[in-house]
Amino acid sequence: MGDAVVGITTSGKSENVLRGLKAAKEKGAITIALCGKHGLQGGEADHIVAVPSEEGAHIQEVHLMLLHVWCIAVDATIKAGGL
């Protein structure tokens, strides 16, 4: 199992996030971008989760909820003997 990198950008244009995702992809990591309604601008990720909103606070609230759910899923997987 390889590495995964999650980039979080409300606008989808954050230069540091785009560079980080690009570098991670070049190293062979699975890349996941959390962004807003307009998707990821000027960059690529293997998986894009675009929140269908233009309100920054709403986008960030959904990003936080997703991160919490992913943490719960990873914990449950570890407890069940996976990973």
pLDDT digits (tens, 9 = 90+) for 1-49: 689 999 999 999 999 999 999 999 999 999 999 999 999 997 789 999 9
Assess contact for 21 and 48: CB atoms under 8 A: no
Torsion, Cα 67 69 75 80, to 10 degrees, reads -140
So what's the pLDDT on residue 43? 77
So what's the pLDDT on residue 38? 95
So what's the pLDDT on residue 1? 60
Phi, psi of 59 (to 5 degrees): -60, -45
Q: In this structure, what DSSP letter does residue 14 have? A: -
What domains are defined for the chain?
4-79 (3.40.50.10490)
* The model scores a pTM over 0.85: yes
DSSP lists the bridge partners of residue 50 as 35
pLDDT digits (tens, 9 = 90+) for 17-27: 999 999 999 99
Tokens encoding 47? 């998986």
So what's the pLDDT on residue 42? 79
